[in-house]
């Protein structure tokens, strides 16, 4: 089983102005991340605008990343939704060659009970050909997975980790304190990676790492060796930029940042819209400040 400790990156999906997937830009982004020192790649999570891609497009995006990666890093594929049966049937429709785990967000909109969430993930884990990483993001799903729910699911042999994006460090700590030793707890909030790891967390699945893979990966590396002075220094270097990224929606912000950095263009698909000119300038100024800083 692959190790998903450290910094994973929730990859954006580059588009052309026409709205089609920009595969040369996707190749460029993949190499940017591999060369930037991230620990693994997450393809077609929500940051990848998976809700707006067809099944064929999702497969083509995955195949492109797998091909460029050539086995260098572990790959996680996003496969979540609010129709349990459709997700299970979907495993037979996806070629998962080169993929090491599945990231699946808790069902949105339905607002299931905790028992419903447990039953959903149990059915998914029973059917999945690959290990499952849970994803709790109540700001998107309107349904929080309680620590007791996560801990019950952590006992399933095919559930290996939780991406915790509740923003509730008490909840994070409760999970880490009582979890099985092999179960990983990953932050889903870029600004909280330092306190998350100080509690004993195992890393993060990050959005900002699309833009600054080396600088952001250095935070988890510093935390692993107990150098929290270095981790705090990097956090404060990046934190204003992080909040700018999300000021007008994700991934519109990080796509604009990638355009400024010359990695991909900033196009998004409806219902998302490009960020404002004012925010674009603020991002450009913030990027200049970060690039001007010396990071060991």
What CA–CA distance (Å, rounded) separates 14 from 47?
A: 11
Strand 6-10, strand 203-206: pairing: parallel
Triad 234, 238, 239: Cα angle to 5°:
110
Beta strands 6-10 and 40-43: pairing type?
A: parallel
What is the DSSP secondary structure assignment for residue 34, as one 8-state letter? Answer: H
Beta bridge partners of 104: 134
Nearest to 164 by CA among 156, 174, 155: 174
| Candidate list 40, 108, 121, 135, residue with the active-site label | 135
Annotated catalytic, 2? no
Distance linking the first and last C-alpha atoms of the chain:
31
8 A C-beta contact, residue 254 and residue 211: yes
Q: Annotate 42-104 with DSSP letters as a single string.
A: EESSGGGTGGGS-HHHHHHHHHHHHHHHTTSS-EEEE---S-HHHHHHHGGGS--TT--EEEE
C-alpha dist (Å) from residue 72 to 30, 35, 67? 11, 10, 10
Task: Please give the structure tokens belonging to residue 37.
Answer: 């020192």
Which one is catalytic: 163, 179, 255, 280? Answer: 163
Cα separation, 164 vs 138, in Å, equals 10
| 261 CB burial (10 A radius; 0-12, 13-18, 19+) | middle
Q: What residues are labeled active site?
A: 135, 163
């Amino acid at each position: 089983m692959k190790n998903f400790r450290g910094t994973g990156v929730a990859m954006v999906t580059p588009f052309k102005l026409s709205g089609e997937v920009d595969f040369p830009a996707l190749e460029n982004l993949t190499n940017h991340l591999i060369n930037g020192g991230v620990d693994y790649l997450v393809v077609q999570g929500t940051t990848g605008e998976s809700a707006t891609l067809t099944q064929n497009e999702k497969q083509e995006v995955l195949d492109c990343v797998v091909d460029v990666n050539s086995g260098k890093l572990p790959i996680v594929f996003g496969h979540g939704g609010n129709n349990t049966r459709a997700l299970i049937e979907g495993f037979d429709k996806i070629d998962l060659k080169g993929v090491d785990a599945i990231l699946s967000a808790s069902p949105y909109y339905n607002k299931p009970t905790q028992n419903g969430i447990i039953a959903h993930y149990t059915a998914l884990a029973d059917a999945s050909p690959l290990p499952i990483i849970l994803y709790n993001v109540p700001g998107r799903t309107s349904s929080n997975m309680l620590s007791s729910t996560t801990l019950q699911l952590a006992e399933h042999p095919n559930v290996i980790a939780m991406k915790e994006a509740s923003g509730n460090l008490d909840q994070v700590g409760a999970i880490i304190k009582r979890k099985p030793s092999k179960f990983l707890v990953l932050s889903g909030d870029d600004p909280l990676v330092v306190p998350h790891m100080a509690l004993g967390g195992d890393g993060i699945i990050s959005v900002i790492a699309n833009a600054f893979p080396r600088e952001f990966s250095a935070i988890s590396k510093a935390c692993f060796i107990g150098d929290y002075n270095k981790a705090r220094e990097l956090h404060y270097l990046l934190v204003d930029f992080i909040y700018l990224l999300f000021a007008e929606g994700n991934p519109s912000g990080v796509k604009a940042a990638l355009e400024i950095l010359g990695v991909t263009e900033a196009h998004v698909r409806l219902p998302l819209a490009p960020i404002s000119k004012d925010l674009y300038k603020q991002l450009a100024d913030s990027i200049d400040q970060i690039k001007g800083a010396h990071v060991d």
